[in-house]
């Protein structure tokens, strides 16, 4: 098997393509639905369901391993997501915009989860082990750049388009069709057309640039054999030592952050009469979508370095404090609302750097827990569990809670749930042999 001699040509773009659709489904949709008039509860419940594909993706990952090639899956999913993202734009001017956009977002979510599986697998088989280690920082950096483009640049663009619309409507032309639409609708149509175009360009680029590293194309899928394989993996998982404390840690460690994830953007954007900070889309795109993501990346880099120097066992509690205590900044902002972008940006960066530090420790725990037999498959189960307990379920209920108790009490509740993170950390077991220094 020939390994790629030009990883610099495809690793950055591959992980850019992994981040863009994820940001569209999990954050850009939240901002758009808020501007189109949905309540916090509606937004978090509707968009929470969109996380299902990332929870259950281990179930169909064997299909990707045994049907066609990972290169084929990557390119096909990128073209599919490009078309689907543009289709979101077509649904927005219709009477069924909510049902239509949610249906298309779910299609994008399944395609994105499928792309994640194939891209990560391609990275492993497409690069020698030394180059995998060399390019891990590149893939993580370009994934974050994709998030900055999505939840930073494109949200900022939507705000700019709305700002330049001096009247209530924008004229919007597409081929032979001409629309006169409210500026909010037209601005988000433009954003999703751009997103769709970017994914189509990535699909076209990868059609020519991705190396052909797989020796054969699989055209047969044995369902019963894969079912048996999944059963064997599940047996390995449930016979891991200290399983109960590990499961609690995997499912509940990110609970406070899971509650914050969808509410913080809504809190920053809601009017002051609703308890928010009334930020514009342009300010939000810069502060939360750009500086916040950079802070998250910085925290992850520092957290990984700290663990490599002093070991996960020694760093765990300091990094747990980093992911929990900075959440207090939102309590402060809810009691002392301000229009100072410098102050808001400082608070967001503090919290996101802390999140990055703590999440680095959490990810490395999942890696150490998964080591041994069937490590890749066990790790996929772990990541599905962390997404279910730390993102999807808390995210779905967060809007309903904030609507009923208000942002101030909600942020105090998040601080109280930090005790859950402390509790599961106190009981988790990390074996010395699994946390060697690098």
The radius of gyration of the chain from alpha carbons, rounded to an integer in Å, stands at 22
211 token code pair: 């190396």
Q: Indicate whether 403 pLDDT > 90.
A: yes
State how far the Cα of 230 lies from the Cα of 434, in Å rounded to an integer: 25
Q: Please report which confidence band the pLDDT of residue 219 belongs to, taking 50, 70 and 90 as the band edges.
A: low
Burial class (CB in 10 A: 0-12, 13-18, 19+), 259: buried
CA 284, 288, 291, 293 torsion: positive or negative?
A: negative
pLDDT (tens digit per residue) in 25-80: 999 999 999 999 999 999 999 999 999 999 988 888 777 877 888 899 999 999 99
At 4, the pLDDT band (50, 70, 90 cuts) reads low
Distance CA 438, CA 436 (A): 6
Handedness of CA 87, 116, 152, 48 (dihedral sign): positive
Say which CATH superfamily domain 1-211 falls into.
MFS general substrate transporter like domains (1.20.1250.20)
Kindly state the percentage of the chain with pLDDT values over 70.
Answer: 90
Please report which confidence band the pLDDT of residue 173 belongs to, taking 50, 70 and 90 as the band edges: low
At 218, the pLDDT band (50, 70, 90 cuts) reads low
CA distance 327 to 344: 13
**pLDDT above 70: residue 368:** yes
- 3-state helix vs strand vs coil in the chain, percent to 5: 80, 5, 15
Asked if residue 198 has pLDDT above 80, the reply is yes
226-429 and 1-211 share a CATH fold: yes
Average of per-residue pLDDT across 291-306:
88
Q: Inform me whether the pLDDT recorded for 297 exceeds 90.
A: no
Q: What is the pTM of this model?
A: 0.88
**Residue 245, phi then psi, degrees to nearest 5:** -65, -35
Tell me the two tokens of residue 401. Answer: 């809670």
The pLDDT assigned to 438 comes to: 37
Cβ distance 380 to 54 under 8 Å? no
Spatial neighbors of 426 by CB under 8 A, at least 6 apart, are none
Work out the pLDDT band at 176, boundaries 50, 70, 90. very low
As given in the structure block, the two tokens for residue 331 are: 């309590």
Domain layout of the chain by residue ranges: 1-211, 226-429
> Is the separation of the CB atoms in 295 and 349 below 8 Å?
yes
**Beta carbons of 293 and 352 less than 8 angstroms apart:** yes
Lowest mean pLDDT across 155-169, 255-269, 377-391: 155-169
Average per-residue pLDDT for the chain: 88
**Separation CA 200–CA 77 (nearest Å):** 10
**How far is 215 from 3, CA to CA, in rounded Å?**
11
Cα separation, 227 vs 225, in Å, equals 5
Site of tokens 């749930």: 417
Ranges 53-62, 115-124, 295-304, 347-356, most confident: 347-356
Query: In this predicted model, what pLDDT tens digit does every residue of 93-126 receive, in sequence order?
Result: 999 999 999 999 999 999 999 999 888 888 878 8
Report the C-alpha gap between 395 and 360 in whole angstroms: 21
Tally of residues, the chain: 438
Gap between the Cα atoms of 82 and 246, Å rounded:
38
Confidence at 322, pLDDT banded by 50, 70, 90: very high
Measured from the Cβ of residue 223, the count of other Cβ atoms closer than 10 Å reads 10
Is the distance from CB of 158 to CB of 191 less than 8 angstroms?
Answer: yes
* Among 265, 300, 250, 379, residue whose Cα is nearest residue 27: 265
Q: 226-429 in CATH: which number?
A: 1.20.1250.20
Each residue of 237-253: pLDDT tens digit?
A: 999 999 999 999 999 99
Residue 73 pLDDT: 93
pLDDT value of position 98? 95
């Amino acid at each position: 098997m020939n390994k790629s001699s030009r990883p610099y040509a495809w690793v950055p773009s591959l992980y850019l393509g992994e981040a863009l659709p994820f940001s569209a489904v999990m954050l850009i949709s939240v901002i758009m639905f808020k501007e189109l008039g949905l309540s916090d509860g509606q937004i978090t419940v509707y968009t929470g369901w969109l996380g299902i594909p990332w929870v259950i993706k281990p179930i169909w990952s064997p299909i990707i391993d045994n049907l066609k090639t990972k290169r084929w899956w990557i390119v096909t999913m990128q073209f599919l997501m490009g078309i689907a993202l543009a289709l979101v734009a077509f649904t927005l001017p219709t009477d069924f915009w909510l049902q239509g956009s949610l249906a298309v977002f779910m299609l994008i979510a399944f395609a994105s989860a499928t792309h994640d599986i194939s891209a990560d697998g391609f990275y492993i088989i497409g690069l020698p082990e030394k180059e995998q280690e060399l390019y891990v920082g590149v893939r993580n950096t370009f994934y974050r750049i994709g998030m900055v483009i999505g939840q930073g640049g494109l949200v900022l663009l939507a705000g700019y388009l709305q700002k330049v619309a001096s009247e209530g409507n924008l004229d919007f032309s597409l081929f032979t069709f001409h629309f006169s639409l409210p500026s909010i609708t037209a601005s988000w149509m433009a954003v999703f057309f751009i997103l769709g175009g970017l994914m189509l360009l990535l699909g076209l680029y990868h059609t020519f640039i991705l190396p052909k590293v797989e020796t054969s194309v699989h055209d047969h899928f044995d369902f019963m054999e894969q079912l048996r394989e999944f059963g064997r993996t599940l047996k390995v998982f449930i016979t891991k030592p200290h399983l109960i404390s590990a499961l609690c840690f995997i499912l509940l460690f990110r609970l406070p952050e899971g509650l914050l994830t969808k509410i913080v953007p809504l809190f920053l954007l809601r009017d002051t009469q609703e308890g928010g900070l009334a930020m514009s889309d342009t300010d939000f795109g810069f502060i939360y979508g750009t500086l916040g993501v950079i802070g998250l990346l910085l925290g992850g880099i520092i957290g990984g370095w700290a663990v490599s120097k002093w070991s996960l066992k020694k760093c765990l509690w300091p990094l747990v404090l980093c992911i929990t205590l900075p959440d207090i900044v939102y309590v402060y902002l809810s009691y002392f609302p301000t229009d100072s972008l410098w102050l808001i940006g400082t608070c967001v960066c503090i919290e996101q750097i802390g999140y990055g530090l703590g999440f680095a420790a959490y990810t490395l725990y999942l890696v150490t827990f998964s080591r041994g037999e069937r490590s890749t498959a066990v790790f996929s189960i772990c990541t599905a569990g962390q997404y279910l307990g730390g993102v999807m379920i808390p995210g779905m209920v967060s809007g309903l809670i904030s609507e009923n108790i208000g942002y101030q009490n909600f942020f105090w509740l998040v601080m109280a749930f930090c005790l859950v993170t402390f509790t599961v950390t106190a009981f988790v077991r990390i074996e010395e042999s699994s946390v060697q220094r690098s």
